[in-house]
Amino acid sequence: MEIIRVKNDSDCQICDEFLEKLIKFEAGCDSLILENVKVKDIHKNSLKHDNVYIAYVTDKSPIGYIFAYLKNPKGKINSKNVIVLEALFVEEHYRRKGVGKMLMKSLENWAKECFEKDFVVEITSINKNENAFGFYKHLGYNEVKTILRK
């Protein structure tokens, strides 16, 4: 398996397709999310900004991807740089085989290159997606906020 850092339009198209799959999956867990969203140029437009990390994993073909960005730099409001994990998706056949962990490790390595140890990664996980929640907990992430909705 190989991690490819997104740099061109064809890479962005691959990630747009992964994001559509993620949105469709999450729609089954959260009724607020529309199921048939078409994603176009989100990743291409994101690459225009600094401090964005987009990558995917291949095993002869793309099997998973990750998208994160610097939300708040250190010093304005926060004591550390806050990186938001916007999306993580692994094809179902490759889940529980280390792909998600590989992608998260690649994100953390990128953050260390950019910010040394002066960062945190924030993740929003849908409560009904217990597998994702357990995955992040297994990687050492802890609950620090709760979103309430009415």
Separation of alpha carbons 116 and 25, rounded Å? 34
Give all domains of the chain, ordered by start, each with its CATH number. 2-138 (3.40.630.30)
Burial class, 55, CB count within 10 angstroms (exposed 0-12 / middle 13-18 / buried 19+):
buried
User: What pLDDT does 37 receive?
Assistant: 85
What's the average pLDDT block by block, 10 residues per block, for the chain (150 residues)? Answer: 92 94 91 86 88 93 96 87 96 95 97 94 90 94 88
pLDDT of residue 146: 85
